[in-house]
């Protein structure tokens, strides 16, 4: 019998790597406020010794994130090793446990079942720890960082009894999205087909070389087809998610993480009073046709602040329709750039953008200036993102001009994508309410053009198409990044903000199945994982001695491991004596 796979023979090492990685993701961000407080001249009681003890107890405890993840991964590895040992035990005195272990299951099915058992305990521990932490936060103010990749839960006083969003919901959605992606990648690989393994070797080298070249060409063709199909799916997913997220930003921001709302608001650079007016128009409490009894002064103050007539923000004074009536109203109000259309003047929508150049009323100047500003902001974000990993891991590669230019071009490409995202959104808004559609249909009220299915809807629909500017690999990762947030934004409020038993059970089932699917894919079908999923799980299961990680240490300039064909059926899966082992995991593409 061959040697056991490294993963099965070293569950302790797998558990240690899982704990180290999980602890760095949970404890690291939690300690940032305390480190900042030490450097600050005005320390806060929120970062005192008692608060530090609570954070350490939360993250280092048996019900903390790190221990729960370690139990889920390391426990599953231990169960697989025990199952393998029972399979290999001679049948001299078979007992019930051995008979169960020798069920006619494939290795992948046994892996899936093993991690279902371990992750079931892990999610119960994690949720119990989050509930305990919530009870402490309800009475004591403490730093509000909990689960990695999860927005912080607001502190609620003990007197409040409103439903609370599950602390593990965002983590569950993250795993669910990655598991579904692995499933879809598996379908794509099966759809495009994989080259058959050639067992027959020709006695004529020339014939053998010709067959090898033909096989390589077919393999490359099928891989290109799989990449093309994946790229189209990624683009569609990002487009749909962006549309939902941007629409929710304006009308239902409570459905999005607070940090996400803040980042979009910074990038949009739109006055909060305009955003509030858009929400009031949707609710029918601010109307060009009916006015607004309670909020009529909302935009008059903004108009005065921008140096315009206060009546420019009065819904009663503004024309609701386009045409000749609108031109007469604009003449009275002193607005000279909205002939033929009604609604809010462009100067109030654009805000201070272009005001220093006297172009605050130009839609084209507004989109262009915002595009340039977004590009500069994005460059400040993406340059470190592209260069810091290289500087920290393989700085010598930057001495190669070609590789340095490649990294620079990647940062510019990403910044251009974000800039185009902003440009497309604002262009669609201006085209809908000012430049084209409102002029073509002057008889349609601006309650519609400035409503949820007017300019905001148009902007939300088109902005995501900028994803085609990004390269294929980042396109997929960005689609997987926004998808969990879009899924959460689509869930009914009764599900998201309900801590009932049924909601908890549904979330636990989703977590367990998604977690088990991802680990099973990492072991048996690593080519179905992409991006962060593949990096993380490859390191956890194989450590720095497998695939991508080992080759990167030997050759810092080595490219990622390409996608590999499916793991061949082993002896146990084919009904043969159990004398085969799984192929080791390959690297990350």
Q: Count CB atoms within 10 A of the CB of residue 135.
A: 11
Amino acid 48: pLDDT: 75
- Say how far apart CA 22 and CA 13 lie, in whole Å: 14
Give the residue from 6, 21, 180 showing the smallest Cα distance to 528.
Answer: 180
- Say how far apart CA 167 and CA 151 lie, in whole Å: 9
Q: Count CB atoms within 10 A of the CB of residue 38.
A: 9
Residue 334's SS3 state is coil
Amino acid 549: pLDDT: 46
The β-bridge partners of 291 are 287
- Cβ proximity of 524 and 563 under 8 Å: no
- Say how far apart CA 431 and CA 453 lie, in whole Å: 14
Phi, psi at 562, each rounded to 5°: -70, 165
Amino acid 329: pLDDT: 94
- Say how far apart CA 428 and CA 436 lie, in whole Å: 10
Q: Which of the residues in the chain have pLDDT under 70? A: 1-9, 41-45, 90-103, 136-164, 193-215, 498-499, 544-589
The β-bridge partners of 255 are none
Q: Count CB atoms within 10 A of the CB of residue 45.
A: 10
- Residue 480 Cα distances to 213, 236, 263, 311, 414, angstroms: 35, 12, 18, 46, 16
Give the residue from 184, 196, 282, 200 showing the smallest Cα distance to 234.
Answer: 184
DSSP class of residue 323 equals B
Amino acid 487: pLDDT: 94
Phi, psi at 108, each rounded to 5°: -65, -40
Residue 287's SS3 state is strand
Q: Where are the alpha helices (DSSP H) in 61-168?
A: 65-88, 96-101, 107-139
Amino acid 163: pLDDT: 54
Residue 53, classified by CB atoms within 10 Å of its CB into exposed (0-12), middle (13-18) or buried (19+), is exposed
Exposure string of 143-152, with b = 16+ CB inside 10 Å and e = fewer, is: bebbbbebbb
In Å, the largest CA–CA distance within the chain is: 101
- Cβ proximity of 193 and 229 under 8 Å: no
- Say how far apart CA 476 and CA 95 lie, in whole Å: 49
Residues whose CB falls within 8 Å of the CB of residue 409, separated by 6 or more in sequence, listed in order:
none
Residue 339's SS3 state is coil
Supply the angle between the helices 531-542 and 547-554 in degrees, to the nearest 10.
Answer: 90
- List the domain boundaries for the chain: 6-167+532-554
Give the residue from 110, 83, 112 showing the smallest Cα distance to 183.
Answer: 112
- Say how far apart CA 314 and CA 318 lie, in whole Å: 6
Phi, psi at 348, each rounded to 5°: -75, -35
Report the sign of the C-alpha dihedral through residues 573, 575, 578, 581, in that order.
Answer: negative
- Say how far apart CA 207 and CA 211 lie, in whole Å: 6
- Say how far apart CA 106 and CA 80 lie, in whole Å: 12
- Say how far apart CA 487 and CA 558 lie, in whole Å: 36
* Each residue's pLDDT tens digit, 284-307: 999 999 998 889 889 999 999 999
Residue 227 C-alpha from the chain's centroid: 20
DSSP class of residue 286 equals S
- Cβ proximity of 106 and 573 under 8 Å: yes
């Amino acid at each position: 019998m061959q040697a056991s796979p490294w993963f099965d023979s070293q569950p302790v090492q797998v558990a240690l790597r899982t704990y180290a990685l999980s602890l760095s993701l949970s404890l690291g961000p939690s300690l940032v406020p305390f480190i900042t407080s030490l450097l600050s001249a005005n320390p806060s009681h929120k970062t005192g010794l008692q608060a530090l003890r609570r954070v350490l107890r939360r993250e280092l405890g048996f019900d903390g994130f790190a221990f729960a993840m370690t139990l889920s991964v390391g426990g599953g590895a231990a169960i697989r090793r025990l199952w393998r040992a029972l399979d290999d035990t001679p049948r001299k005195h078979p007992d019930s446990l051995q008979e169960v272990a020798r069920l006619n299951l494939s290795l992948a099915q046994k892996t899936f079942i093993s991690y279902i058992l371990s992750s079931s305990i892990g999610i119960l521990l994690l949720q119990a720890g989050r509930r305990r932490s919530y009870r402490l936060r309800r009475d004591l103010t403490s730093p509000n960082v909990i689960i990695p990749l999860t927005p912080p839960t607001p502190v609620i006083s003990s007197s409040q009894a409103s439903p609370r969003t599950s602390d593990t919901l965002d983590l569950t959605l993250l795993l669910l999205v990655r598991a579904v992606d692995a499933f879809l990648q598996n379908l794509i690989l099966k759809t495009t087909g994989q080259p058959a393994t050639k067992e027959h070797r020709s006695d004529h080298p020339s014939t053998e070389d010709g067959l090898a070249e033909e096989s390589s060409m077919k393999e490359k063709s099928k891989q290109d087809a799989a990449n093309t199909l994946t790229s189209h799916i990624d683009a569609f997913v990002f487009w749909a998610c962006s549309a939902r997220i941007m629409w929710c930003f304006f009308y239902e921001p409570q459905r999005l993480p607070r940090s996400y709302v803040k980042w979009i608001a910074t990038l949009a650079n739109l006055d909060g009073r305009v955003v509030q007016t858009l929400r009031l128009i949707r609710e029918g409490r601010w109307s060009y046709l009916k006015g607004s009894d309670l909020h009529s002064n909302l935009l008059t103050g903004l108009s005065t602040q921008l140096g315009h007539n206060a009546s420019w923000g009065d819904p009663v004074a503004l024309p609701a329709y386009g045409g000749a009536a609108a031109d007469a109203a604009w003449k009275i109000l002193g607005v000279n750039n909205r002939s033929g259309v009604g609604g809010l003047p462009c100067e109030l929508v654009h805000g201070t953008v272009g005001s220093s150049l006297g172009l605050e009323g130009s839609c084209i100047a507004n989109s262009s200036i915002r595009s340039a500003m977004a590009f500069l902001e994005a460059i400040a974000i993406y340059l470190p993102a592209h260069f810091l990993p290289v500087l920290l891991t393989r700085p010598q590669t930057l001495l190669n001009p070609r590789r340095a230019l490649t990294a620079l071009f990647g940062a510019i490409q990403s910044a251009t994508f974000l800039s185009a995202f902003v440009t497309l959104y604002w262009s669609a808004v201006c085209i809908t309410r000012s430049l084209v559609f409102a002029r073509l249909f002057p008889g349609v009220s601006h309650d519609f053009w400035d409503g949820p299915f007017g300019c905001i809807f148009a902007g939300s629909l088109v902005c995501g198409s900028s994803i085609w500017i990004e390269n294929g690999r980042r396109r997929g990762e960005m689609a997987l990044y926004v998808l969990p947030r879009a899924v959460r934004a689509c869930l009914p409020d009764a599900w998201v903000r309900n801590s009932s038993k049924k909601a908890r059970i549904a979330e636990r089932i989703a977590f367990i199945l998604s977690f088990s699917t991802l680990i099973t894919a990492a072991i048996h079908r690593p080519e179905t994982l992409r991006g962060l999923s593949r990096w993380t799980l490859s390191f956890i299961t194989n450590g720095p001695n497998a695939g991508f990680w080992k080759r990167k240490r030997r050759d810092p300039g080595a490219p990622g491991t390409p996608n590999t064909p499916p793991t061949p059926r082993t002896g146990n899966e084919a009904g043969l004596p159990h004398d085969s082992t799984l192929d080791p995991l390959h690297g990350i593409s």
